[in-house]
Structure 1
Amino acid sequence: MNNVDRPRGLSARLKLSVTMCLLVVGTGAVLFALVYLFLLRYIPDGVLNTKFGEFAPSRKDLARAFIPRALWALGFLVAGSGIGSWFLAGHLLRPLARMQRTANSVSSGDLNRRVHLHGPRTEFSDVADAMDSMLDRLENQITQQQRFAANASHELRTPLAALRTTLEVGPSQQLPGPQFIQRLQHITAKAERSVDSLLTLSRAQSNGLAKMPIDLSLLLEDLVEQYLPEAITRGLEFDIQLGDLPAVEADADLLEHAVANLVRNALAYSNSKAWLCSRSDGSMVEITVENDGEVLTSEQAQLILEPFHRLERIGSIKSSGSGLGLPIVAAVVQAHGGSFRLAPRPAGGLSALIRLPALKPWAPSF
């Protein structure tokens, strides 16, 4: 049932006012009962005279004198409490109305609207602050999605445009068949890499993970065996320091893809040396991948984490990647409950740190 089909009930302001009036009526009824039980019931009914012949009021006399005036007083109290509670409830519920107006504005498309509730900390201010924080994250996510969609469209449009141009101009240039096919294969391979990267990033961000216990030491050793020949071929020094690591609960394919991205980038953008280190403190596992290279600022290092921002766009480094490698790493690590930090090295190059929660060893309980 949506808010359109839901029947309209009593407002919270009216409920508070009616509740206050009923409370006053109940209090008056209790006072009447106490007066009767502890006062009127002990006074005899009928005409009473003292031993000096003076008049003494009976139970009926006291009731006729007390009850009408008490009822009038109770009526004024009920009316006063109703009016007072109506304005008091309106004042107390004003932040709630402000949050409702903010929510309606945001739902209408005004993502910049916030509650901004001032004053001392109360239950309403806590809810308003939580709502503002939620709206900040929502605006950031929507902005990132819009930028991601625009960048993805641009990245996919580029190989498609190149493919169309090749198909239109290639025959007129009378390119040899093998050369023409090789050019088409190069363009389609680039588009395929972009699509594969987009699918991997989408899978990591959707938390569609097949988690299981993973021997992280074995995974890193496999990556070293895979990329060490490349480092030797390129004449790079590859410093490897792997410690004894506990198992982690992770999606093996995605985690291997993330670490492989870091190692591949470290070797691709290194001048002479790259590092791969791992250690654990028992509760967390740390994997550090570093490389030397040109000096970058912290702003440039954070810019690389944005989708489709390649290194070649912030410096003189040339890259043929899709610009999604490091965003994929960040998304994969976040999906596994870890943290990812990318920082420039003072001597040049980048330092990437992955921290993942270690899988606690199973112990029998007695």
Structure 2
Amino acid sequence: MARAPGWSVRLKLTLSYAGFLMLAGALLLAVVWVFLLRYVPDQPHPPPLDTLGGTVYRADDLILQGPSRHDLLSAFAPRAAEVMVFLLVFGLLGGWILAGRMLSPVTRITEATRLAGTGSLSHRIRMPGHSDEFRELADAFDTMLERLESHVAEQQRFAANASHELRTPLSITKTLLDVVRKDPSHLTEEFLDRLHAVNSRAIALTEALLMLSRADQRSFEPERVDLSLVAEEATETLLPLAEKCDTTVETSGDLAHALGSPALLLQLTTNLMQNAIVHNLPKAGSVWVTTALHDRSVALTVENTGEELTPELISTLTEPFQRGTERIHADHAGVGLGLAIVKAIVTAHDGTLTLAPRDGGGLRVTVRLPAAPPPERDGRRLPPAPRRSPE
């Protein structure tokens, strides 16, 4: 943004310091002048007549004693002017030095801002000294730079991984089409099935990327959603997959109403349950889905049996295109965005996502969302709904 040149902040502060000092000096001199005027007469007083010796002086022989106001003004005015000149010089010089010392943190913050503007996000101010307003600003700026650098690095990794994931099915499709173009006899039903599977994977990846972007934008109108009903709906949808993978799914818990998008919360629950089914034991696996109502929040917990997972591995599962272990059921392998989408949806609903290893193997995922307020009818809040007994 183009701006007309103006005075620097340091010069403005210097003039402000000097002006304040001049005003304080003028007021002090005025107080001294008024105080002196109370004890100095307009005209000098004559000396008392000495009548004891019998001598009487004439009026024109009287010797005047004590200064008059005119004499005081003649002596006071030059000294006051000298003091004001000294205060002006001292105020300008001292104000310039003080303003420079006070604004030195702003200079360091400005330099860091310019470096960040050129793309260098690794620079930190690290302002020394005790806490004050400027140092709090510098610390907040360092925190912002750290988060921005982390976000940019995450976006770069995401773009690279997304390009790699999309390139793989597209390259396979191109290879298959080249083979058919050279020899049309390869166009068999098996070939078409292979081409259809690769194309379906590319479409699924694209839809997952679109879902992830919509979740980050928070472009939805919050509605009252019961997570227990969402869990039951997701269970019914994934029941064929669970039967095919020899996995049992159990749902239980309380009525848990949250404010959010029904479609996104259903997607969240579906992703968690699908991951729990796919990342499971080869046979006789189990998945438990529970909902709970707390004072100011509701919780959705999805647990599953499976392999032993380390905390280091679990901390990377919510990153895009990160897969914990090789999936047992390879025919239902996802695109690596399931938990990344879950994390984005939870963030969009101002909730928290917690992943922890389960005793005996497997994973426990807990989603906490702000509880929806009780519904109102005729201006009065209805009592909370009774809790549902576990199935």
Q: TM-score, normalised by structure 1?
A: 0.92
* Residue in 1 that maps onto 2:30: 33
1:203 and 2:236 matched? no
**Equivalent of 1:156 in 166, 172, 176:** 166
* Residue in 2 that maps onto 1:81: 91
Residues 111 and 139, structure 1, Cα contact 8 Å, conserved in 2? yes
Q: Which amino acid aligns with 2:199?
A: T
CA, structure 1 residues 259+140, in 2 after alignment: closer, same or farther (shift >3 Å)? same
1:18 and 2:15 matched? yes
Partner deviation per Cα, 1:209-248 (whole Å, 9 max, x = no partner):
2321223222222122223454344432323222222x21
Alpha-carbon distance, 1:48 to partner: 4.6
CA, structure 1 residues 316+235, in 2 after alignment: closer, same or farther (shift >3 Å)? closer
**Cα distance in 1, alignment partners of residues 107 and 47 from structure 2:** 65
**Would you say how many aligned residue pairs link Structure 1 and Structure 2?**
361
Q: What does 1:49-64 correspond to in 2, within 5 Å?
A: 49-51=46-48, 53=63, 55-64=65-74
1:70 and 2:67 matched? no
Which entry has the higher C-alpha Rg, 1 or 2?
2
Residues 48 and 57, structure 1, Cα contact 8 Å, conserved in 2? no
**Equivalent of 1:189 in 193, 197, 200:** 200
Alpha-carbon distance, 1:293 to partner: 0.8
**Cα distance in 1, alignment partners of residues 27 and 129 from structure 2:** 39
Q: Which amino acid aligns with 1:182?
A: D
* Residue in 1 that maps onto 2:141: 131
1:155 is paired with a residue whose SS is helix
**Equivalent of 1:335 in 336, 348, 370:** 348
1:359 and 2:356 matched? no
**Cα distance in 2, alignment partners of residues 9 and 50 from structure 1:** 65
1:348 and 2:361 matched? yes
Residues 278 and 333, structure 2, Cα contact 8 Å, conserved in 1? no
* Residue in 1 that maps onto 2:311: 298
* Residue in 2 that maps onto 1:321: 334
- Structure 2: unaligned runs, 5 residues or longer: 50-62, 382-391
Q: Which amino acid aligns with 2:13?
A: L
**Cα distance in 1, alignment partners of residues 115 and 241 from structure 2:** 56
Residues 311 and 317, structure 1, Cα contact 8 Å, conserved in 2? no
Q: Which amino acid aligns with 2:277?
A: L
Residues 50 and 56, structure 1, Cα contact 8 Å, conserved in 2? no
Deviation larger for 224-233 or 9-18:
224-233
1:238 is paired with a residue whose SS is strand
* Residue in 2 that maps onto 1:240: 251
Alpha-carbon distance, 1:317 to partner: 7.7
Report the RMSD for the aligned CA atoms in angstroms: 2.1
* Residue in 1 that maps onto 2:55: none
Residues 304 and 364, structure 2, Cα contact 8 Å, conserved in 1? yes
Alpha-carbon distance, 1:41 to partner: 5.9
**Cα distance in 2, alignment partners of residues 362 and 50 from structure 1:** 99
- Structure 1: unaligned runs, 5 residues or longer: none
Alpha-carbon distance, 1:47 to partner: 5.0
1:179 is paired with a residue whose SS is helix
Q: Which amino acid aligns with 1:198?
A: L
**Cα distance in 2, alignment partners of residues 91 and 365 from structure 1:** 60
